[in-house]
Amino acid sequence: MKRLKFLLLAATLALFSTGSALGADVGSHVMTFDFQAINEIEVTGTSNLIIASAIAGEQPQDVTDSSFIYAITTNETTKRITAIIDTAMPANVTLKVNVTAPSGSGTSQGYVTLSTIASNVVTGISQVADSSLTISYKLSTTVEAGVHPADTKTVTFTLSD
């Protein structure tokens, strides 16, 4: 019986050595894909917002413009879009922006008053590619603002952490 065990052991060793006799040599190489962070936003549109009417007894009427659109791509998570204007608005004049959130990702903050300090307009954006998203502006004023000459403002949108 013991002899049988040893024969089996020898046969097993022979089996393993047969594999080697088949010449199963192995070579290898590495494939590496380095995915960089991608955070792209592009805004399209220009507009003239003119307040020129009021109902008697009321404040001047707001004007809105929803002709702006933007496109966004990010492969990161919990991103936000902020908006800022280059110079302060005149006294008693308010410019607000409402940025639509990408489909299925993020939350719009609704109309947000623009200032020279960046404000969140969309938060909680994660891994999305979407385009033709609407940006709306609303210009408001009061009679106390008086009459102002035309002014130009640059609004900068930033996609950040």
DSSP state of 103: T
d(CA 78, CA 95): 27
Nearer to another protein, 36 or 152 (CB): 36
Nearer to another protein, 10 or 88 (CB): 10
Q: Which of 10, 134, 129, 145 is nearest to 69 (CA)?
A: 134
Nearer to another protein, 26 or 52 (CB): 26
2 binds another protein (CB under 8 A): yes
48 binds another protein (CB under 8 A): no
**Three-class SS state of 47:** coil
d(CA 30, CA 47): 53
Stretch that binds another protein, among 64-72, 81-89, 90-98, 116-124 (CB under 8 A): 64-72
Site size toward another protein (CB under 8 A) is 46
Q: What letters, b where the CB count within 10 A reaches 16 and e where it falls short, cover 53-65?
A: eeeeeeebeebee
Q: Of residues 71, 84, 145, 155, which one binds another protein by CB under 8 A?
A: 71
Site for another protein in 81-120 (CB under 8 A): none
d(CA 26, CA 136): 62
Q: Of residues 54, 62, 67, 76, which one binds another protein by CB under 8 A?
A: 76
Token digits for 154?
């640059």
Q: Of residues 64, 75, 94, 136, which one binds another protein by CB under 8 A?
A: 75
8 Å CB contact between 60 and 143 = yes
Stretch that binds another protein, among 52-60, 71-79, 83-91, 136-144 (CB under 8 A): 71-79
Q: Which residues bind another protein (CB under 8 A)?
A: 2-3, 6-7, 9-10, 13-14, 17-18, 20-38, 40-42, 70-77, 127-132
